[in-house]
Amino acid sequence: MPGSLGSFGVDLIGALGGKPSKQSQKLFRAWQQREGGWTNNAARFNPLNLTAPGSGLPTINSVGVVSLPSYQAGIKRTADLIRSGYPAIYQALRSGQVDFNDPALQADFNRWVSGKRTPGLTKYVSGVASSYGQNLPVAPVRANPAGGRQPTEPPPPPQKPVFDPLSYAQSILGQYAQGGSMDFTQLPGVVSASFKTPPPPPVAPGATAPSVGSTPGATAPSHGVEWNGKKMVLPTDWKSTHPTSGLEKEGFTHAEDIMGSPGTAVGAPEGGTIIRHGSAQGGQSLWLRADSGRMYWIGHIESNIPVGTQVKRGQTIARISADHPRPHVHLDWSTSYEG
């Protein structure tokens, strides 16, 4: 029936530019059965349990799964997200060619549930594959240099993450050596110094000095990662590695992941105002409107600092969440976000 779950897969595949086939519709149904959106919860028009941080849409649980206002809104949001960040799923739904032994498809499904694009036959991937009709054992895979794929050994029991200051310092120094701008002090047990890249060359008379980052107007003061005792003070200048999935159109295209142990205190990168809390695919997120004009999106954290709170640089605003497979802070900024 049009406008129902029964037609959602057909319309979604059409919105992705594909021609609905028996196999592509079967893939959608298998995925929806694993997620249970719209059928097993109150996520209306959201069969794949999308989260939408900062959208203002009503959430149905603590993870941030949203209920969408209309069938067409559900089709558009789902298609936009798949198209922008899940290339293997996108191609499988468009073409109907589905192979759950494909590491790229595994990685996309793992990213959907955990936020990390890692190949492997996890319980989630195996569950979708089983609903699709491919019964595959839960066993991470790795590339085989001789061709094909081979299962890894069963993973060891999970261990409580331990912060290793030496490894962290080596990582920072490696980025510094590649030309990154790093500034950190008081790293416990390792160094007590400040490392910075050389100053930029002088600006010619009449020329304009470049702003921080690559976005005009991003004039935040330059800071690298700093450690104040056991607190991680977030930087304002880093080597961007990827955009923030789902927020690219709002200018969040300068993301960096900063690894740390769950529970590590997180200090504000700049002075400003907390304007919103939201969800992330693993933990929570918050928006900080800095006095410089930047908007920061900080994800995979736990925070109960009230909206409207004015903070200073370095003030504790959150702690690293344990709800992500690889605990870290996802940090991004925008000068075009107006939320």
- For 274-326, the pLDDT digits (tens) are 998 888 878 888 999 999 999 999 999 999 899 899 999 999 999 999 888 78
- Assess whether 176 and 58 both reside in one domain: no
Burial 128-148 (b: 16+ CB within 10 A, else e): bbebbeeebeeebbeeeeeee
Q: Is residue 266 part of a domain?
A: yes
* pLDDT at residue 179, as a whole number: 46
Structural domain includes residue 213: no
Residue 137 CA to residue 126 CA, distance in Å, equals: 7
**Predicted confidence (pLDDT) at residue 63 exceeds the cutoff of 70:** yes
User: Percentage of residues in the chain with pLDDT exceeding 70?
Assistant: 73
Per-residue tokens: 299: 């994800």
Q: Which residues of 228-245 are buried (b: 16+ CB within 10 A; e: fewer)?
A: eeebbbbbbbbeeeebbb
84 contacts 250 by C-beta, under 8 angstroms = no
Decide if 304 is inside a domain.
yes
Q: Which of 19-23, 72-76, 201-205, 309-313 has the lowest mean pLDDT?
A: 201-205
229 and 88, same domain (yes or no)? no
Which residue range forms the structural domain that includes residue 176? 166-197+220-334
Residues 316 and 224 in one domain: yes
In a domain, 110, yes or no: yes
Residue 83 pLDDT exceeds 70 = yes
The answer to whether residues 263 and 302 belong to one domain is yes
Q: What is the pLDDT of residues 123-152, one digit of tens each?
A: 999 999 999 999 988 875 444 333 333 333
Decide if 205 is inside a domain: no
Residue 136 shares a structural domain with residue 173:
no
> What CATH number corresponds to the domain at position 184?
2.70.70
Contacts from 320-323 at CB under 8 Å and sequence distance 24+? Answer: 320/232, 320/260, 320/261, 320/262, 320/263, 320/264, 320/266, 320/283, 321/262, 321/280, 321/282, 321/283, 321/284, 322/262, 322/263, 322/283, 323/282, 323/283
Strands 265-267 and 231-233: parallel
Q: Are 297 and 221 in contact (CB under 8 A)?
A: no
On whether the CB atoms of residues 271 and 220 are closer than 8 A, the answer is no
Query: Do residue 310 and residue 188 come from a single domain?
Result: yes
Identify whether residues 128 and 177 lie together within a single domain: no
Task: Please report whether residue 285 resides in a domain.
Answer: yes
SS3 124: helix
pLDDT at 180: 43
In a domain, 156, yes or no: no
pLDDT at 226: 79
Tens of pLDDT, residues 90-134: 999 999 999 999 999 999 998 898 878 888 999 999 999 999 999
| Mean per-residue pLDDT over the chain, rounded | 77
Helix (H) or strand (E) holding 105: helix 103-114
Q: Same structural domain for residues 118 and 30?
A: yes
| Confidence at residue 230, expressed as pLDDT on a 0 to 100 scale | 83
Per the structure, the count of domains in the chain is 2
Considering the domain boundaries, does residue 158 fall inside one?
Answer: no
One domain for residues 87 and 176: no
Considering the domain architecture, whether residues 228 and 112 belong to the same structural domain is answered as no
Q: How high is the pLDDT of residue 229? A: 72
pTM here? 0.46
State whether 40 and 142 are in the same domain: yes
Same-domain status, 65 and 18: yes
Residue among 95, 119, 92, 115 at smallest CA distance from 31: 92
Confidence (pLDDT) at 182: 43
Render the burial of 50-64: b for 16+ CB within 10 Å, e for the rest.
bbbbbbebebbeeeb
How far apart, in whole angstroms, are the C-alpha atoms of residue 26 and residue 40? Answer: 19
Band (pLDDT 50/70/90 cuts) for residue 164 is low
Q: Which of 103-117, 210-224, 233-247 is predicted with the least confidence, judged by mean pLDDT?
A: 210-224
What integer pLDDT is reported at residue 149 of this predicted model? 37
pLDDT at residue number 166: 58
8 A C-beta contact, residue 86 and residue 111: yes
